[in-house]
């Protein structure tokens, strides 16, 4: 079978690569073309668009790059039409991929959508695009099952793909004293630019700790200059290896929050964006938390410092709280509950199996 896969962000690249490997095991004749980065390129050298071109976040940021977005749509339609895939697989990246699903449906191209848009947070009406324009749908968060049942949207729940990468045996032992602190400013350029100042001040204010900063390979190194200029700080390009080496992490909100929890690393979540984007989102978003850990557990286990709350004083207060063993223990206990809620550890194989069975039963 021929598969065309579109991802737009680093987490999608990880999940896309795992799905490609799983499909190759089931479908010996699998062929791929895709949008992705290093992880997917390690499976196949048939990349059409790199995610370095696609990482836009926030309403203002998308508007500022509107011409680029239109060009990306044009590229996608051209490449897919030329390739004529048996299945178009869209992974997360809903602002772009839900529109691609609509176009594909009109052009009689079968569509699988993997990883749900956050309709539980905002723009709930997007469920209609999933319902009307996709043939297969795979949400990955446990609480999404109830939501889609109530909306009468067909789906298959296979668990969360991160459980494949991070087994229980890989979880770090509980620590009682913090020595090494990991700084994760974000995976997008606008996140890094918003976060870097406060993070740099925090590192300089805490010289007794060992600091490491995660540097994204698709971001110019000079964007990290204020942090890299801090005395004694070390830069890391392998995020997963860096997570394993940390006693505590300060991380920009995203999938990394979940990865840290599965590795049993205490964390503080930060998030800051364009002021206009934040004001608009604040009116539209209907959730109490932004961290996936807190959302899955339904409680504020992990401290979240959002927008104006992300400042040096509040970051220092949150850090000091986690220096107390009782607060560390609370996070460790919550992490165990969260892992249990996520389900089994064969998500990619499960998704691949359902895709293959669907295509075998519906010849072109």
107-157 confidence digits (pLDDT tens)? 999 999 999 998 887 778 899 999 999 999 999 999 999 999 999 999 999
Instruction: Say what percent of the chain tops pLDDT 90.
Output: 75
Range of weakest confidence among 10-14, 39-43, 214-218, 277-281: 277-281
pLDDT digits (tens, 9 = 90+) for 260-278: 999 999 999 999 887 776 6
Burial class of residue 50 in the structure, from the number of CB atoms within 10 Å of its CB (0-12 exposed, 13-18 middle, 19+ buried): middle
Q: What is the H or E stretch that residue 268 is in?
A: strand 267-271
Return the residue matching tokens 């991929």. 97
Q: What is the H or E stretch that residue 238 is in?
A: none
User: Which 8-state DSSP code applies to residue 307?
Assistant: G
pLDDT classification of 61: cutoffs 50, 70, 90: low
Closest residue by Cα to residue 96 from 71, 122, 124: 71
In the chain, residues under CATH classification 3.40.50.2000 are 2-166+345-361, 168-342
**Does the pLDDT of residue 58 top 50, yes or no?**
no
Q: What is the H or E stretch that residue 55 is in?
A: none
CA–CA gap between residue 262 and residue 341 (Å, rounded): 12
Would you identify the CATH topology of the domain 2-166+345-361?
Rossmann fold (3.40.50)
Cα-Cα-Cα-Cα torsion 5, 7, 11, 15, nearest 10 degrees, comes to -10
What are the backbone angles phi and psi of residue 125, rounded to the nearest 5°?
Answer: -60, -15
The pLDDT assigned to 286 comes to 67
Region 210-235: what's the mean pLDDT? 94
Tokens of 272: 């800051």
Under CATH, domain 168-342 is a member of which superfamily? Glycogen Phosphorylase B; (3.40.50.2000)
The pLDDT assigned to 275 comes to 73
Per-residue b or e along 175-184, where b marks 16 or more CB atoms closer than 10 Å to that residue's CB: beebebbbbb
* Residues 6 or more apart in contact with residue 176 via CB below 8 angstroms: 325, 328
């Amino acid at each position: 079978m021929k598969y065309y896969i579109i991802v737009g962000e680093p987490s999608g690249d990880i999940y896309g690569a795992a799905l490609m490997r799983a499909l190759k095991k089931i479908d010996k004749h699998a062929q791929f073309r895709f949008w992705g980065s290093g992880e997917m390129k390690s499976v196949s050298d048939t990349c059409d668009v790199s995610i370095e071109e696609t990482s836009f976040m926030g309403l203002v940021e998308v508007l500022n790059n509107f011409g680029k977005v239109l060009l990306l749509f044009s590229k996608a339609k051209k490449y897919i039409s030329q390739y004529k895939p048996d299945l178009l697989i869209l992974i997360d990246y809903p602002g772009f991929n839900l529109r691609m699903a609509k176009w594909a449906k009109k052009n009689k191209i079968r569509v699988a959508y993997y990883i749900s848009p956050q309709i539980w947070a905002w723009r709930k009406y997007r469920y209609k695009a999933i319902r009307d324009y996709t043939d297969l749908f795979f949400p990955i968060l446990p609480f999404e099952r109830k939501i889609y049942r109530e909306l009468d949207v067909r789906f298959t729940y296979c668990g969360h793909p991160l459980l494949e990468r991070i087994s229980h045996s890989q979880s770090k032992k509980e620590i009682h004293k913090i020595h090494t602190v990991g700084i994760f400013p974000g995976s997008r350029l606008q996140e890094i630019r918003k976060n870097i100042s406060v993070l740099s001040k925090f590192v300089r204010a805490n010289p007794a700790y060992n600091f490491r900063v995660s540097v994204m390979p698709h971001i110019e190194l000079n964007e990290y200059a204020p942090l890299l200029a801090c005395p004694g700080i070390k830069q890391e390009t392998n995020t997963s290896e860096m997570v394993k080496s940390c006693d505590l992490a300060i991380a920009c909100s995203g999938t990394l929050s979940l990865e840290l929890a599965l590795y049993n690393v205490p964390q503080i979540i930060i998030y800051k964006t364009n002021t206009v984007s934040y004001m608009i989102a604040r009116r539209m978003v209907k959730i109490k938390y932004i961290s996936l850990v807190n959302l899955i557990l339904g409680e504020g286990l992990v401290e979240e410092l959002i927008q104006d709350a992300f400042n040096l004083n509040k970051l220092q207060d949150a850090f000091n709280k986690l220096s107390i063993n009782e607060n560390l223990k609370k996070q460790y206990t919550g992490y165990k509950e969260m892992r249990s809620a996520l389900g089994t550890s064969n998500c990619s194989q499960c998704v691949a199996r359902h895709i293959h069975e669907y295509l075998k039963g519906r010849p072109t």
